[in-house]
Amino acid sequence: MKITIIGTGYVGLVTGACLAEIGHDVFCLDVDPRKIDILNAGGVPIHEPGLLELIARNRAAGRITFSTDIAASVEHGDVQFIAVGTPPDEDGSADLQYVLEAARSIGRYMNGFKVVVDKSTVPVGTAQRVHDVLAEEIAKRGLAGSAQHGFSVVSNPEFLKEGAAVEDFMRPDRIIIGIDEDESGNVAREKMKRLYAPFNRNHERTIYMDVRSAEFTKYAANAMLATRISFMNEMANLADRVGADIESVRRGIGSDPRIGYHFLYAGCGYGGSCFPKDVQALIRTAAESGQNLRILEAVEDVNHGQKEVLVRKILDAFGDDLTGRHFAVWGLAFKPNTDDMREASSRRVIEALLLRGATVTAYDPVATDEAKRVFALDLKQAPELLGRLTFASSQDEALVGADALVIVTEWTAFKAPDFVHLKSVLKAPRIFDGRNLYEPDAMAELGIDYQSIGRPHVKLATDATPAV
């Protein structure tokens, strides 16, 4: 089948590359020439494991094309995927300007029946707005009512985890397709069935429903996962106070099959492109419908506060004035296997340390370049703070001369460091672990002052760096 993907971000690139991999002829469109130049030069503008190789293989096979030519993209695909960004607006609602502009472009140039697929995460009712924009553009061309210019709008939300997006797409646990029951919807259903047929050969993974329910399903899924994270973080904060170990608690409750282990890890808060904005957007949708989502409001509030937990632990150890203190930070991206800095906990932690007079050297295996760009924007009104932030080229380099190590992202490379070397280059053996990577008892045996989230604080017999 001939497929067009509008947007070459995480969702668009992964969708396009994976559909090409199963044999479809894919045209990827983006209005940003910088992205298309990178892709046509053999690069990828984002970090996603396996994506570069997947694109290279399908480019060589002639199954994937990248262009800024809107007319050509509409001409190419019988199925047009809209996979553009939906950033949060000032009031927390999803900004649909890019989605609707993509729909306008399709309406301006389409000749022949098109299935228009909302792949972007969009609020309930967006498919109707896309339908109205398409109809408006076709009417402007004097083609309203023409069977040759018919279309159907489908909701097909993505369920991809950054860092494992290719694997998630190629081995989906479910494929949600929302289609309204009418003549054009029946045509669209057959096309979508054919499109995803390779994923359903062993067993049927596709769940069909009405469009609004499909749109709602995406938000509900992310809201549930965010709720689990904030719940465990709140339990971890209580565990700190009552002397329990949240890791033991996690194993105890996760063994219940009704609960399970996924998304039960305590830490320093969630971030990224999905959970924060999707929770906000769902809260906003509810408010517009006259309902308060009290649980999700609490989820958001807990997550906001959780990004300060590590900072509070550091201040308890060193005092509120960190002037003259230097910290090593391991991990900048909001999660491992990505360079995504959106809503990353590292941004809050590092800025808080800098504001209190500290200097920071940070390291991340892939997100350093993106972090430099983001912090330059975050701190543009305070260049003196930016001057106290440096970036290391290795995790060992970041440690040199630091009063403590602060761990913010759970990269695999951080899980089994050389602790003897670590102790030798830090001013004092002290770790603040925002992802619970190490065992407190093991840290005690190594003589490391170790603080994590919701677990016992392992103190040195003699504190080499007393509070100031």
CATH number, span 307-451: 3.40.50.720
The distance between the two most distant Cα atoms of the chain, rounded to a whole number of Å, is: 83
Specify whether the CB–CB gap between 94 and 277 falls below 8 A. yes
Among the listed residues 39, 37, 129, the one whose alpha carbon sits nearest the alpha carbon of residue 82: 129
For 258-297, b/e burial (b = at least 16 CB within 10 A) is eeeeeebbbbbbbbbbbbbbbbbbbbbbeeeeeeebeebe
* pLDDT by residue, tens only, the chain of 468 residues: 999 999 999 999 999 999 999 999 999 999 999 999 999 999 999 999 999 999 999 999 999 999 999 999 999 999 999 999 998 887 788 899 999 999 999 999 999 999 999 999 999 999 999 999 999 999 998 877 655 678 999 999 999 999 999 999 999 999 999 998 877 888 999 999 999 999 998 889 999 999 999 999 999 999 999 999 999 999 999 999 999 999 999 999 999 999 999 999 999 999 998 899 999 999 999 999 999 999 999 999 999 999 999 999 999 999 999 999 999 999 999 999 999 999 999 999 999 999 999 999 999 999 999 999 999 999 999 999 999 999 999 999 999 999 999 999 999 999 999 999 999 999 999 999 999 999 999 999 999 999 999 998 977 655 444 444
Q: Radius of gyration of the chain from Cα atoms?
A: 25
**Residue extents of the structural domains in the chain:** 2-209, 219-304, 307-451
- Write out the binding residues for NAD(+): 30, 35, 86, 121, 162, 277, 342
To the query of whether residue 268 is one of the catalytic residues in this protein, the response is: no
The single residue of 18, 28, 268, 274 carrying the catalytic annotation is 274
- Write out the binding residues: 30, 35, 86, 121, 159-162, 218, 263-267, 271, 277, 335, 342
In DSSP notation, 434-467 reads TT--S-HHHHHHHT-EEE-SSS--B--SS-SS--
Residue 189: which H helix or E strand, with range? helix 183-195
Which CATH superfamily is 219-304 part of?
Answer: N-(1-d-carboxylethyl)-l-norvaline Dehydrogenase; domain 2 (1.10.1040.10)
Instruction: Say whether 307-451 and 2-209 share the same fold.
Output: yes
Q: Write the burial class of residue 314 (CB in 10 Å: 0-12 exposed, 13-18 middle, 19+ buried).
A: buried
pTM for this predicted structure: 0.91
| CATH 3.60.40.10 is right for the domain spanning 2-209 | no
- Write out the binding residues for substrate: 159-162, 218, 263-267, 271, 335
Strand order in the sheet with 389-391: 389-391, 359-363, 326-330, 404-407, 430-433, 449-451
CB atoms within 10 A of CB 195: 22
Tokens in use for 97?
């300007």
Report long-range pairs for 373-381 (Cβ below 8 Å, ≥24 apart). 374/341, 374/344, 374/347, 375/347, 375/350, 378/347, 378/351, 379/351, 379/354
